[in-house]
Structure 1
């Protein structure tokens, strides 16, 4: 998801009237200059066959694909080889004849040398006082006049000439890093120096992530982009209320890019995570998931593995996003072997738009993820690892859950969205803030349950933010690193530990362990076995139970379970089933779900709701590789157990008749062979 995605300030954009508030599917042609002569009818044939209803096409900014008359635009030199001299005019006219919408892609991040030399005050300036130049193009600063004012002139020229259905801005942010991954630093142009000083009370503008003021600059820069997004959105909607604006934050349509990259660890569930975090906290703002068909930007002609590309689309639609396929160049010029499979999924989405238009999160458990605006703060990466470990635990055991943004908890409470859940899990997030803490206390008072791991809900000075927590305060700083090696927890009292004889389980503790003062009425769960020598084996003595618990809980109308160590990070690092099952067993009493599954761990089950009941997506991830997904292994003999079901079900992908039998207060569905994915629609009894 975008860093710092927040509610849109533009009420006209989110009141539900725009075309983008209904399901849509996009095909993006990311054009080179030579594509100005492409056959638009041929492209539209491909887009229609793919199952898309919206075409995202390069229009203005770095190069204009129409005959711009503005002195700060650079006309595509190949337009002269096109009979009409106007690619955008031809594309919009032909697309609208077929009922296909057109989104105009603009990129204001860079400009030609001529324009830069005439307007040096528009440019990014490095901490060394140098411009950022890439392939003869100069990077612009979002604080300066090109972004702030001239971009509106470009949009006006486009809207004056063409009835486009919306706009998408590429690279809409501060250009700290270029395409070659060279880090240039924080912009030090005069406008940035002045505005950051005003924002921060006169603090020094940082040069990069190593500077103490960088976390504050991240919040400042996010505010600049959000304010600019609102300004542009208001401008577009004042002229064209039927036109969307697609940005990574602060717009009527939020854009998330599903991509891969060499040199970056692959998180196989990234798309699912990001879409879920958006749809739970910002349901009033549409989400477009742009899936990249190539392996990475430096290798745009190398297609992504088809099964990997399919995961982008499947995870997107299962969580409520609108799918988009993004290719380089005019279709057919570069071979992308993933497009046929992508087309199958896009057509499935098209054929079931009525269902996807109703789809809402339905996991029952809310797993909070760290606030992206804290990415430069100490401990952020550890929180991400904790989150991913707990995500994997729920996913592997087919316990339905949704992801929520930690920064959106207070908003969700105010809008009644938090109350849809019975359990909220907070993975070693640190301080939550007064608003989120109060929201969670109200949630518990109303009968909800909360699980805290590590130092979630704890300030930097050890204060416990939740009044409903079983702890009073944290003592000192958490044990970390080597200070935790050879430390364990157990649900057994370990009565024979003095004789060096241990009962199962003995769970390793990795990452951090926080020491708390517990309330007198807190129920202590399990024991900790403090660190003892771990080598050589002849001298490995000393694991006796101390006074610290493995976890603790407190109950009011609901309950709070506090696990004072990073159990998710431990599972993420070691990967043993015993760690995962320890966590799930510890919180078993507060897990309530209408759906259970007998399926391999490698099948992701995502549960949503529509007006009639449940919509269950099963995504086969048996092909998971270190850096991609390969061909899947078909799964036979799977079963679903659904409480409160009405006794019928539809299998929308295979079309097979549902093999159902009554089971207790619900039904059991014997699944047919599961290939790449299946979608099951299950009405609930009313």
Structure 2
């Protein structure tokens, strides 16, 4: 079997200079967030459950807040529930490896015992009033203190020397601004933070976090992350390093989760968003998006809808990420709905694991984003994400500009972030669509000014430029707007606010202007279009067809030829992927998503698809059948007779 053969070559890829196991093997990852009481668990039973589920990676509690093995390192304490003479972590490592299941050890150094605080209070997070942050008897450490930067390395060295782990994962990395109950704890004012901040920025720590302070914390985390990565490489060169950071790690961790107070609308593309962005921002790293089965921190034993668990799994596979499932405690759950949903999907993925090995995106459209978006930027980005998905335009997401010149993208779409590097990309023949009320970081149109909140309209002056808007003369405008120098012949113009009531007065003072609501120019050998208002945010919130139609026409003007054409419903998410010369079309049925609910999706019938290129054969993997293909005008056409929740179509040249 592929799994056994890969495990026999445990780590040999790194020795030969090739990527590690996390890139060379299909990953089916189960995370167990163990409680301290689970130190006495039956490791053999868990290993058997994992094997029956066909998981091939398990993330297990190893140390930090408490150790699940006998430790001799100072200021590191075994769980009080670890039986005398028992080595729980060592036992699961042996049991799992015997079944060809890799083990990633989990450490959490964000908190530790009171005894450590009493011995070294300078290692800990200190509020502005000098008090520590204490939660359930545990004291929060500081990323810049001696615990993270010294003692942690000793703890890790012991674990790495003692156990042949396949990787390490770090939870709650760095200083957390809130506790598990959502209480804001403020910024750390320990001596180490104050000195480091003063030395680097020549100022005192602010009362509230600003951009400079956030960069300070990120840089502090990067420094510790780099040191940990170096230590792992020295002690266990074949082990992977997994964290919620992009830098210095082998796998980029993220979460698809829920919370009772999360703002609406809910985001059904969470897993697609996380995995797409990670895989295309750092293609040499694996995206491990944790499929969190619980509702919120206060209800860790209550599961989210089973259909939501399944949807996340299909999305992870469709974007080339690891298949994951997270539980609190062991697999002997009190609410088994999520587990009973995950198990058959894991088993199916194991039976077809070759289809998911070495996947990468074939998309020639890039949606550019940035790390650390605020809520307004997030809404704009999500609206564009939805539009691309609903229009069935294959796209990659990236926050990394190293792709410039390295990948043949036909079009780059920027939302609220157009860095100066994009100018050269366009000048050299690229095509850029900027959808933002924020001007780009390079000279483009002549900016007159920016208005923070405009409640007006956009007038369609030239319907020939926007054929999808043939029945629409006015589009809603609400939010920021950058006023550009007026000029004639602009196909979209601003209609400023006017009277809204009573009905007898509605817009009787409406005035048209020559202020452009779109700017399009040739720039060097390329072309740029700028929509100086937040269409993405409006669509995310209101989903107006006119905004979708405008977006469709803007994309078509810049990229007349689509990679994929289909009659599929907008709630069929589709990705275009490649592996070893094969082209894959993944289809995910999102029709079960409704407001705050996720139901089983409504089956779709007769989905017609045309993929650019000439292919001789197509087959479905879930449907297990060959499809009739025809080639017309350079596109290979086929039909998917039925889509339940997910389907994979493989095309052969």
User: Do both share a fold (TM > 0.5)?
Assistant: yes
Deviation at 1:146, TM superposition (A): 0.9
Q: Which moved more, 1:448-457 or 1:640-649?
A: 448-457
The whole-number CA distance in structure 1 between the counterparts of 2:279 and 2:161 is 34
8 Å Cα contact 1:319/1:606 also seen in 2 = yes
Q: In the alignment, is residue 486 of structure 1 matched against residue 456 of structure 2?
A: yes
Helix, strand or coil at the partner of 1:640 = strand
The whole-number CA distance in structure 2 between the counterparts of 1:100 and 1:573 is 44
CA, structure 1 residues 577+363, in 2 after alignment: closer, same or farther (shift >3 Å)? same
Deviation at 1:324, TM superposition (A): 1.9
Residue-by-residue CA offset, 1:367-425 (whole Å, 9 max, x unaligned):
112331xx4xxxx32222111111111211212212121xx12x222xx43x3210001
The whole-number CA distance in structure 2 between the counterparts of 1:285 and 1:170 is 18
Deviation at 1:491, TM superposition (A): 4.1
CA, structure 1 residues 650+622, in 2 after alignment: closer, same or farther (shift >3 Å)? same
The whole-number CA distance in structure 2 between the counterparts of 1:35 and 1:388 is 40
Helix, strand or coil at the partner of 1:303 = coil
Helix, strand or coil at the partner of 1:486 = strand
- What does 1:262-411 correspond to in 2, within 5 Å? 262-265=260-263, 266-372=266-372, 375=373, 380-405=374-399, 408-409=400-401, 411=402
- What does 1:502-651 correspond to in 2, within 5 Å? 504-517=472-485, 524-539=490-505, 540-555=507-522, 556-591=524-559, 592-651=561-620
The whole-number CA distance in structure 1 between the counterparts of 2:124 and 2:597 is 38
Counterpart position of 1:90 = 91
Deviation at 1:542, TM superposition (A): 2.9
Q: Which moved more, 1:27-36 or 1:654-663?
A: 654-663
8 Å Cα contact 1:14/1:252 also seen in 2 = no
Q: Which moved more, 1:447-456 or 1:137-146?
A: 447-456
Deviation at 1:523, TM superposition (A): 7.1
**Structure 1: runs of 5 or more not aligned:** 1-11, 460-464, 495-501
Counterpart position of 2:467 = none
The whole-number CA distance in structure 1 between the counterparts of 2:60 and 2:471 is 64
Counterpart position of 2:213 = 217
Counterpart position of 1:64 = 67
CA, structure 1 residues 480+636, in 2 after alignment: closer, same or farther (shift >3 Å)? same
CA, structure 1 residues 138+309, in 2 after alignment: closer, same or farther (shift >3 Å)? same
Residue-by-residue CA offset, 1:639-675 (whole Å, 9 max, x unaligned):
1112213131121112132133333322221112100
The whole-number CA distance in structure 2 between the counterparts of 1:370 and 1:628 is 29
The whole-number CA distance in structure 1 between the counterparts of 2:510 and 2:628 is 53
The whole-number CA distance in structure 1 between the counterparts of 2:436 and 2:588 is 31
Deviation at 1:335, TM superposition (A): 2.6
Helix, strand or coil at the partner of 1:273 = helix
8 Å Cα contact 1:486/1:532 also seen in 2 = yes
Deviation at 1:263, TM superposition (A): 0.5
Q: In the alignment, is residue 226 of structure 1 matched against residue 192 of structure 2?
A: no
Counterpart position of 1:3 = none
Helix, strand or coil at the partner of 1:358 = coil
**Structure 2: runs of 5 or more not aligned:** 1-13, 465-469
CA, structure 1 residues 14+585, in 2 after alignment: closer, same or farther (shift >3 Å)? farther
The whole-number CA distance in structure 1 between the counterparts of 2:88 and 2:44 is 12
8 Å Cα contact 2:391/2:552 also seen in 1 = no
Deviation at 1:55, TM superposition (A): 1.4
The whole-number CA distance in structure 1 between the counterparts of 2:106 and 2:425 is 43
CA, structure 1 residues 383+160, in 2 after alignment: closer, same or farther (shift >3 Å)? closer
The whole-number CA distance in structure 1 between the counterparts of 2:42 and 2:461 is 68
CA, structure 1 residues 292+452, in 2 after alignment: closer, same or farther (shift >3 Å)? same
Counterpart position of 1:121 = 122
The whole-number CA distance in structure 1 between the counterparts of 2:346 and 2:16 is 25
8 Å Cα contact 2:259/2:296 also seen in 1 = yes
TM-score (norm 1): 0.87
Q: Identify which of 451, 470, 474 aligns with 2:447.
A: 474
Counterpart position of 1:450 = 432
Counterpart position of 1:99 = 100
CA, structure 1 residues 253+486, in 2 after alignment: closer, same or farther (shift >3 Å)? closer
Deviation at 1:64, TM superposition (A): 0.8
The whole-number CA distance in structure 1 between the counterparts of 2:117 and 2:536 is 49
Counterpart position of 1:497 = none
Deviation at 1:442, TM superposition (A): 2.9
8 Å Cα contact 1:123/1:138 also seen in 2 = yes
Counterpart position of 1:26 = 29
8 Å Cα contact 2:274/2:289 also seen in 1 = no
The whole-number CA distance in structure 1 between the counterparts of 2:52 and 2:589 is 25
Deviation at 1:114, TM superposition (A): 1.5
The whole-number CA distance in structure 2 between the counterparts of 1:87 and 1:606 is 42
8 Å Cα contact 2:55/2:346 also seen in 1 = yes
CA, structure 1 residues 253+643, in 2 after alignment: closer, same or farther (shift >3 Å)? closer
CA, structure 1 residues 129+275, in 2 after alignment: closer, same or farther (shift >3 Å)? same
Deviation at 1:16, TM superposition (A): 3.3
Counterpart position of 2:183 = 182
Root mean square deviation of aligned Cα: 2.3
Residue-by-residue CA offset, 1:507-544 (whole Å, 9 max, x unaligned):
011111111237x8x97332322322121221221333
Deviation at 1:15, TM superposition (A): 5.5
Deviation at 1:365, TM superposition (A): 0.9
Helix, strand or coil at the partner of 2:326 = strand
8 Å Cα contact 1:489/1:509 also seen in 2 = no
The whole-number CA distance in structure 2 between the counterparts of 1:594 and 1:458 is 28
The whole-number CA distance in structure 2 between the counterparts of 1:458 and 1:651 is 44
Deviation at 1:354, TM superposition (A): 3.1
Q: Identify which of 377, 388, 403 aligns with 1:412.
A: 403
